[in-house]
Amino acid sequence: MEIKLRFLGAAGAVTGSKSILSAGGKNYLIDCGLFQGLKELRLLNWRDFPVAPHSIEAVLLTHAHIDHSGYIPVLTKNGFRGKIYCTEATESLCNLLLPDAGFLQEEDAAFANKHGFSKHRPALPLFTMEGAKRSLRFFKSIAWEEKIELSENVSAVWREAGHILGASFIELSVNGKKITFSGDLGRFKSPLMHPPKNIEKTDYLILESTYGDHNHPTEDPAISLKRVIDRTIARNGSVLIPAFAIGRTQQVLYYIHQLKKKKEIPDIPVFVNSPMATLATDLFCRYSNQQALSDQECKEMTAGITFVGSAEQSRSLNAPKKPCIIISASGMATGGRVLHHLKFLAPDPKNTILFIGYQAPGTRGHAMLNHTQTIKIHGEQLPVRAEVNLIGTLSAHADQEEIMTWLRALKAPPKKIFLNHGEQKAREALKARITKELRWDVAIPNDLEEVNIS
């Protein structure tokens, strides 16, 4: 049987994850992510899909993050009619994320039309909220360790990856060969998520490399967070935390709760101003068997937090009357309610803008961490005078050392490892370490490259 791999995204970038596995005349799409970040990457969302969507037998999702799931509404709009397999928690999160992504697409198009930002007349959304809702009917949830027969010679198993709620790596058996897609691997010592399950044997491994050239700082995130909060309160300022609704918001709520519980920071108000983060936090606590906190710990973590609902309450946070902590999406300050807070809080030097995760090139978060003097929001250039900081220890991605630890659990070397979901420098660094220490065969595929592994 001829078996081919084709890399349709995330080959040289930490976004747009899509890989096609072709076997026995059938195509299987592993992850279906949206490109985010730089304009040159976002434009790739509009290119013709290299494979006819109706020819795809099934989509296999590792997890719900938009860079792994956000292209699904486009795929279904253009003719895909197969099943989308994922864990139950991933399906629940996609029920939140995909319609929201469609809403943002429509909102961006409407704003571009109103202010003439687009070369296209009229500017159109990549997909709509309604289209995203329609795509949800193709989802079929499965349990971890449950074997799914995709065809006579192809089966798949999802195993816990520890990245976010429901996140998995996927092991495919194809005519006797085992092919594993890592998805995004989590941390080994996260207080919120279980560590990634070990992988014992695979013939081919498609491995993420987000932090392939980097090891995370070892300082306790609570200490870093306390330092920033104390410094900001001393200036009578507020801390604005742009945070991803899924995963990162729950992490920072956990550490704030721990600091307050130990009375290491004052009991200042904490606001979560993101409808998506509010729903995701509820889901996180509901799926208590898929994360590391008990029901009681979840209740304690969210007690005393103000989850902002109305637009009026959201606007009131633009000028806080006393120091507070505001957690709002999006995590890279590319959209969402956090932009309205940035307009008011970033120009004031007493405040702090605290980023708590990876900031892709081309985003406002990346620009601010690289000391930009101004940011453009809603067509207006605004000064950045607030303290801008980053806590790098809150990443939900395994770093280089943790990836190597995961690889060493293999009882036999794979025939080949393909590095994706990483910038070129990170992929090259990880390849160099794997080949030097493990002496395994490692490839760095290009975008749209196809390889025959028959």
User: pLDDT, tens digit, for every residue of 295-341?
Assistant: 999 999 999 999 998 888 888 898 898 999 999 988 999 888 999 99
d(CA 331, CA 242): 5
Answer whether 183's CB lies under 8 Å from 63's CB: yes
Q: Which of 284, 286, 294, 226 is nearest to 258 (CA)?
A: 226
Q: How confident is the model at residue 102 (pLDDT cuts 50, 70, 90)?
A: very high
pLDDT of residue 312: 86
Helices in 192-274 by DSSP H: which ranges?
221-234, 248-261
d(CA 209, CA 433): 12
Residue 160 DSSP label: E
Percentage of the residues of the chain whose pLDDT score is greater than 70: 99
As to burial, measured by CB atoms within 10 angstroms (0-12 exposed, 13-18 middle, 19+ buried), residue 437 is: exposed
pLDDT of residue 360: 79
Residues 306-318 as b/e (b if ≥16 CB within 10 A, e otherwise) read ebbeeeeebeebe
d(CA 293, CA 90): 18
pLDDT of residue 238: 97
Q: Are strands 177-181 and 168-174 parallel, antiparallel or unpaired?
A: antiparallel
Mean pLDDT, residues 248-276: 96
**DSSP states along 21-65:** EEETTEEEEEEEPPP-SSHHHHGGGGSPPSS-GGGEEEEE-S---
pLDDT of residue 147: 96
Mean pLDDT, residues 281-288: 94
Mean pLDDT, residues 254-260: 97
Bridge-partner residues for 83, per DSSP?
A: 58
Bridge-partner residues for 173, per DSSP?
A: 155, 178
Mean pLDDT, residues 16-28: 96
40-51, pLDDT tens digit by residue? 999 999 999 999
pLDDT of residue 427: 98
26-41, pLDDT tens digit by residue? 999 999 999 987 889 9
pLDDT of residue 96: 95
Q: Which of 316, 280, 325 is nearest to 298 (CA)?
A: 280
Whether the upstream peptide bond of residue 122 has omega within 30° of 0, thus cis, is yes
Q: What spatial distance separates the first Cα and last Cα of the chain, rounded to whole Å?
A: 7
Amino acid at site 190: S
Residue 287 CB neighbours (<10 A): 16
d(CA 319, CA 261): 27
Answer whether 186's CB lies under 8 Å from 210's CB: no
Q: Which of 241, 339, 253 is nearest to 302 (CA)?
A: 253
Residue 136 CB neighbours (<10 A): 16
pLDDT of residue 68: 98
pLDDT of residue 118: 66
- Residue 439 is encoded by which pair of tokens? 């002496």
d(CA 178, CA 183): 16
How far, in whole angstroms, is CA 29 from its chain's centroid? 18
Mean pLDDT, residues 217-229: 94
Please determine, for residue 370, whether its predicted confidence score (pLDDT) is greater than 90. Answer: yes
> Which residues, at least 6 apart from 195, have a Cβ–Cβ distance to it below 8 Å?
162, 186, 187, 188, 189
pLDDT of residue 117: 66
pLDDT of residue 112: 78
Mean pLDDT, residues 351-376: 93
- Residue 353 is encoded by which pair of tokens? 């803008």
How far, in whole angstroms, is CA 396 from its chain's centroid? 9
Amino acid at site 117: F
**DSSP states along 253-291:** HHHHHHHHHTTSS----EEE--HHHHHHHHHHHH-GGGS
Residue 185's Cβ-side half-sphere holds a number of Cα atoms within 13 Å equal to 31
pLDDT of residue 319: 86
114-168, pLDDT tens digit by residue? 776 666 778 899 999 999 999 999 999 999 999 999 999 999 999 999 999 999 9
d(CA 81, CA 56): 8
**DSSP states along 54-114:** GGEEEEE-S---HHHHTTHHHHHHTT--SEEEEEHHHHHHHHHHHHHHHHHHHHHHHHHHH
pLDDT of residue 334: 87
Percentage of the residues of the chain whose pLDDT score is greater than 90: 85
Residue 96 CB neighbours (<10 A): 19
pLDDT of residue 111: 76
Q: Are strands 270-272 and 325-328 parallel, antiparallel or unpaired?
A: parallel
Domains of the chain: 3-214+396-452 (3.60.15.10), 221-394 (3.40.50.10890)
pLDDT of residue 122: 87
Mean pLDDT, residues 185-199: 95
Mean pLDDT, residues 57-67: 97
Please determine, for residue 428, whether its predicted confidence score (pLDDT) is greater than 70. Answer: yes
Residue 211 DSSP label: B
